[in-house]
Structure 1
Amino acid sequence: MFTSGSTGRPKGVCGMEKGLLNRFLWMQRRNPLCSDDVLLFKTSVSFVDHLQEFLSAVLTSTTLVIPPIDWRANPTSLANLIKAYRISRMTIVPSLMEIILPTLEKNISCVYNSLKILVFSGEILSLVLWKRVREILPETTIINLYGTTEVSGDCTFFDCKDLPGILEREEITSVPIGFPIANCEVFLVTHAGIADEGEICVSGACLFNGYLAEFLSSNHTEGSVISTYYKTGDYARRLKAGELVFLGRKDRTVKIYGQRFSLEEVESTLKEHPAVSDAALTFQSKGSPDYKAYLVFKNKDGIVKDSLQYREVNSSQDIMASIRSWLIKKVPPAMIPSFFLHVKSLPLTSSGKVDYVKLSSLECASEPCGIAQIKSGSGLVNPYLQVIKKAFCDALLVDEVSEFDDFFTLGGNSISAAHAAHKLEIDMRLLYIYPTPLLSFWTL
């Protein structure tokens, strides 16, 4: 099998039969397949998840629905298959579930009675998506798995029936990935003295035998016992009860203005906004940080009007300005993207994951630093307003701004915000709350 290559060049993984068998036996003991179950074979044979879809049916003599290839690539057809064949158990990546969920909701009476177990794998499962699925399928068991091709597909699991209790005592931004499956050891290699947070490392029956034309050899010393383990490049945090929460990939952990954080954490937060259907972030550190958020909107009904700032909220620029203001209240300033872009949909790999390589080349529905072109009709000229606009221009290194221009939509960040706040002799936090010259004029 080859890795997905979504973050780089695919590598040939030399998997082990015992890893696949261990994964199958663990799930069969935990959630046994019954004679009346119906499974769906939808994953490309290029990806490791297809092995469990196929083997689970073959090893238990369970009915397996194998649709035409072009049907698997069509979300609507996939949703209709689930309804028509009364699929009882399915593994799916969250990105694909987001797409087919509206169609499933229309056929809820049929799906409700058939889909017993829904397994999420391959991406972070957001709290928002979990809540939507639970509302639509309250009787369905929802399981969140974590793993890679190198660990036979999956090495940890979390049963979402325990999530309400965790949310009462813990502050998390995504569904936990839980505990190790049988015969697997998962531990965190911590850095910089941070307890219970570090890189996920895996050993045990699930482990692969190395990369094609390469050699896997890493030492893990624990109780003077040396064993082979796999450093995933993923980071996680351990909750008080022992569950792991996925933080992000090593190559998607960034440092901006001295603060290190995971892009996945910001993506999960953005998906909680009522107007956002999906979100993805890109970051490049060449020269000044190029930090962008790509947003897929739901519909106009989910958009909150800000009558103080805009006479009408009818453009993507207006929506993104309100989303930025909302996000400022959720995360530290350094985690706010420099640019927000509206896209119709996020590009996906053939396995259904977000394709971050293609993402930056998308033709966006709005310019990255575009401004809402809204006329106030007031012809407002005020010396104090001009002082605010001049401070914005100096901080952003631009020649002109209008009274409606959002400081951060124009590319402002925590450094330029500090510069503008110093010029205006105000607390920098106020600029995040009142990001346009007119709002600042009315409130400062």
Structure 2
Amino acid sequence: MAEPQDLVARFLATAATVPDRIAIHAPDASLTFAELSERTARLAGRLRALGVGRGDRVGVSARRGVHWAVAPLAVWRAGAVYVPLDPAYPADRLAFTAADARLRAVVTDTGALPWADGLPVLGPEGTDEAGQDRFDDLAVGALNAAYVIHTSGSTGRPKGVEVTRGAVSALVAGLEERGVYPAGHRVVGWNASLSFDASVQQWVRVCRGDTLVLLSDDDRTDPARLAALLDEHAVTDVDFTPSHWQLVGSRLGGRGLRLLLGGEPVPQRMWRSLAEGEDAWNLYGPTECTVDATVTPISGSVPHIGRPLAHIRAHVLDETLAPADTGELYLAGPAVAVGYAGRPGPTAERFVADPFAADGGRMYRTGDRVRRLPDGTLEFLGRTDRQIKVRGFRVELGEVEDRLREHPRVTAAVAALRTGPDGDTLLAAYCVVAPDTSVSDEELRAHCAATLPGHVVPSAFVTLPALPLTPGGKVDTAALPDVTAVATPEGRAPQGELEQLIAEVWAEVLGRGSVHADENFFALGGHSLVALRVVARLKRATGIVLPTKDVYRFPRLSDLARHAESVRAGGAS
């Protein structure tokens, strides 16, 4: 594969060639390529005026609007490195991430940022017109960093994965070479959060001349709204996790969409359904290897992760690092990340010398077990460690367990992936509490939600007298009890407008005949994706805007209704 062109250079060439083509449609505005070039130049000039330059890290905290595309591209044009900071995350986690990344500034469209700790904060609109006139794009080499995305950490602290500009350019070129990104102008539905590395694969497509259609939270979770938006903008390509596609996909068939699935394994039933005629692709790759490392069109009856992209070398090795048909997957090549920013120990553990490279390069230990099939494709078999994927997001179980043990009445805890009452995969927490004490599910959930993102908060909590142990003294995860359905309590019927409305929404999204006012959203099978649907429906029906984290803070129906009424009346949010 030829040396890929820098993506900022590709964007500038596109803006010069098709200035009037729409670059991004967002809920708040639309921008042509010429307008996007102007906006990013203005913001990059303001960053440069603050002294931000090559290699400096700039936080990006943005809602779902045009700033999602403007901010990262402006940071790149200033020669700097963007660090996503999802405003939906708890303030303590954002403060940790900002400090860990050693930010020079933050760009945002969310207003005040109490966790920014004195950092310069720039809004989306620039006033330094002279700075814009003087602005020249800073030449940045392929080995300079492009972004730092923080993932769940096994020690309880998120780790920042540092990826180079050249690695991102190689990703795009590799996906083009394999036909995942067809030649010509495409219209792409942008679905992922900036804090999820799949967003890189989506937003950089504007650099190659594609049009981005940003999906709001309402659009992402309501199949009817999503279908209407895709039709309105003639969207050709969409990117979903399999879990999210299960939520909305049944209503989106027959549109000729190119469906890109990634972030977690594709269930066999879904695979077989898509193989019958959809233009669907399965993409696999860890954050540490720049989003996607292997791809395959979905066909046949057996799920697999395909073959590596042209710039990737995939080794299947046994415990002695000898080639094997079945073993751990190691990935090498220019896509391998720099490492974990500021963490030399974990970097040395996961990024190791490549014994098959003549140039002394490194390879990344994925922790994924795979089998190389006779035709050369790779079949995913599971993990070698305790890392899991929940609806596309990486979750280190140790981070969840550390947070649970911080509760003053929890003496021991373990987290595990389980199958819920309705067959959904969910994260369950098993806790032992101090003698003669107790702790409710609601209290444990609120304790976790105070510092963990929503997708890391367990959906089910089980209190045990002791954790089961193997003869060797380790926790016997196989002996942990199943998560069973919670019987519907004999609670009171919902009363008042908001209780009745929320009960109707819960019954619909959770597949329940009826819901009482005293029931718990998560005990009924709710999780983060379904919570998005709840707040979106409530907003459309009443105009009340609640962040998704409020469903975690107030999981009991009556409490959520009371809180929503307070927000409507101008109370605490």
TM-score normalised by the chain length of structure 2: 0.42
The separation in 1 between residues aligned to 2:532 and 2:317, in whole angstroms, is: 29
1:87 and 2:235 are equivalent in the alignment: yes
Listed as ranges, the gaps of 5+ residues in structure 1 are 168-174, 255-265, 297-340, 353-360, 365-444
**Judging changes above 3 Å, is the alpha-carbon distance between structure 1 residues 74 and 3 closer, same or farther for their aligned structure 2 residues?**
farther
State the Cα distance separating 1:121 from its structure 2 match.
0.7
Residue 146 (structure 1) shift: 0.8
Alignment counterpart, residue 113 of structure 1, candidates 247, 255, 278 = 255
- Which of 189, 202, 205 is the matching residue for 2:331? 202
Q: Percent identity among equivalent residues?
A: 24
Structure 1 stretch displaced more, 145-154 or 275-284: 275-284
Does the C-alpha gap of structure 1 residues 183 and 342 become closer, same or farther in structure 2, counting only changes over 3 Å?
A: same
Please state how far the C-alpha of 1:292 moved relative to its aligned partner.
4.8
What's the counterpart of residue 278 of structure 1?
424
What is the distance in 1 between the residues matched to 2:531 and 2:290? 19
The one of 265, 283, 290 equivalent to 1:145 is 283
State yes or no: 1:62 paired with 2:210. Answer: yes
* Aligned position for 2:149: 2
CA contact (8 A) 1:295 1:342 kept: no
2:415 is aligned with 1:287: no
Deviation at 1:34, TM superposition (A): 4.7
Picking from 34, 40, 53, the partner of 2:189 is 40
Q: 1:179 Cα deviation (Å)?
A: 1.1
Amino acid at match of 1:201: Y
- 2: CA distance, partners of 1:295 / 1:180: 40
Deviation at 1:144, TM superposition (A): 0.8
| 2:163 counterpart SS class | coil
Shift of 1:295: 8.2
Classify the secondary structure of the residue corresponding to 1:26.
Answer: helix
Tell me, in whole angstroms, the C-alpha distance in 2 between the residues paired with 1:230 and 1:36: 34
Task: Supply the AA of the counterpart residue of 1:2.
Answer: I
Shift in Å, 1:37: 2.6
Q: 1:276 to 1:129 in 2, by over 3 A?
A: farther
**How far apart are the structure 1 equivalents of 2:329 and 2:285?**
10
Structure-2 residue corresponding to 1:20: 168
Q: What's the offset of the Cα at 1:250?
A: 2.5
Shift of 1:85: 2.9
Alignment coverage as a number of residue pairs: 279
Distance 1:146 1:52, change over 3 A: same
The aligned amino acid for 1:279 is: T
Contact 1:199 1:231 in 2 (8 A): yes
Write the letter of the residue equivalent to 1:120. L
- Match for residue 133 of structure 1? 274
Shift of 1:40: 0.8
Deviates more, 1:70-79 or 1:118-127: 70-79
Q: In the alignment, residue 424 of structure 2 is paired with which amino acid?
A: D
| Structure 1 segment 381-420 matched on structure 2, within 5 A | none
Per the alignment, do residues 6 and 253 of structure 1 end up closer, same or farther by CA in structure 2, a change over 3 Å counting? closer
| Aligned partner of residue 20 in structure 1, secondary structure | helix
The CA distance in 1 between the partners of 2:170 and 2:530, in whole Å, is: 28
What do you get for the CA RMSD once the two structures are aligned? 4.2
Relative distance call for 1:292 and 1:23 in structure 2 (3 A) is farther
Correspondent of 1:187 among 315, 333, 345: 315
- For 2:354 and 2:247, the matched residues in 1 are separated by 41
Other structure's SS at 2:162 match: coil
1:229 corresponds to 2:367: no
Are the structure 2 counterparts of residues 295 and 5 from structure 1 closer, same or farther at C-alpha, using a change threshold of 3 Å? farther
Identify which of 75, 78, 83 aligns with 2:226. Answer: 78
Partner of residue 375 from structure 2, selected from 241, 249, 255? 241
Q: Hey, what does 1:122 align to over in structure 2?
A: 263
CA-to-aligned-CA distance 1:296-353 (integer Å, 9 cap, x gap) = 9xxxxxxxxxxxxxxxxxxxxxxxxxxxxxxxxxxxxxxxxxxxx985344459999x
Distance 1:182 1:242 in 2: 14
Q: Is the 8 A contact 1:281 1:292 kept in 2?
A: no
Q: Is the 8 A contact 2:187 2:213 kept in 1?
A: yes
Matching residue of 1:318: none
* One-letter amino acid of the structure 2 residue matched with residue 156 of structure 1: T
Secondary structure of 2:265 counterpart: coil
Q: Aligned-pair distance for 1:50?
A: 1.3
Partner secondary structure for residue 174 of structure 2: helix
Cα 1:191–1:350 shift into 2, 3 Å: farther
User: What is the aligned partner in structure 2 of residue 251 from structure 1?
Assistant: 385
CA distance in 2, matches of 1:79, 1:11: 37
